[in-house]
Amino acid sequence: MDFMLHRSKPTSVWFTVTLYQAIPMQYRYVHHGRNLRGTDYAVGDIHGCFSALQRALDAIGFDPACDRLFALGDLVNRGPESGQVLDWLDKPWFHALCGNHDFMVWRDAEEDPYPHVDHRQHGGEWLGLLPANQRRLIGQRLRTLPVAAEVDTAAGPVGLLHAECPFDDWQHMREGALSQQDLHTCLWARTRFRTHDATLIQNIRAVAHGHMTIAQARKLGNRFYLDTGGWMPGHGHFTFLNLATLEWIVRDGAPALA
């Protein structure tokens, strides 16, 4: 079924998965209907660099009246504007996934820090400088972000996932029967990229990922890796994937990581 932009809410399914025997994490899977008015884009990690993201959107002619942007997780930490995350999540055209940094922030905001990595040592000091009520609001909002999503296009659905798909068949992501290790893979893993695994993920047209910071966008099989360091202004750039055409877009003259 096709949906007009902003006139229908995406459908979502919730599953509870306990990650490392700590707070149960809601595995939320969201299905977005086709955008019949404009263009849908995916973008990699933002890491609190929302002004740089806005400049990149302006440069490609993004139109918030009809276009949609799907952020592939890691909205916060490292950059100077992480505290603006709620403002961006309130934008009707901005849709985001949960990345490993978002996960660590909401855990910390709920006073149960993730024990395996201290996000404050990875650009997360900003959270502790905020008033308690604002920390709580940010934690509550980040906790509700979906881990995975799909977006309908005329040529078939495109999957969205921060790090790595734990399955070779996307249908398992829709069904939501994820183990603790599967969920960890969704948020943290890099194995497929590092081993140059070109396996096609079945039952999905393509899958867009962030997480793996690289100099230029890359395609392996039907997977697109889009974190090209836009959160490092002057060094990297934001890459946008047009979900209808599967072409990636970079503004002219954008710097690239060495």
Q: Is the pLDDT of residue 19 over 50?
A: no
pLDDT of residue 252: 72
Read off the pLDDT of residues 152-207 as tens digits, 9 standing for 90 and up.
999 999 999 999 999 999 999 999 989 888 999 999 999 999 999 999 999 999 99
Domain locations in the chain as residue ranges: 11-249
Choose between 19 and 32: higher pLDDT. Answer: 32
Work out the pLDDT band at 8, boundaries 50, 70, 90: very low
Architecture of domain 11-249: 4-Layer Sandwich (3.60)
Model confidence, pTM: 0.90
What's the average model confidence in pLDDT over 38-60? 97
pLDDT of residue 16: 43
Q: Is the pLDDT of residue 67 over 90?
A: yes
The Cα–Cα gap between 207 and 174 comes to: 13
Read off the pLDDT of residues 112-138 as tens digits, 9 standing for 90 and up.
777 676 666 666 688 878 899 999 999
Q: Tokens 């977006």, residue?
A: 151
- Number of neighbouring beta carbons within 10 Å of residue 147: 28
Choose between 61 and 118: higher pLDDT. Answer: 61
What are the Cα distances from residue 93, in Å, to 4, 5, 20, 118, 157?
Answer: 12, 9, 34, 32, 19
What's the average model confidence in pLDDT over 202-224? 97
pLDDT of residue 4: 30
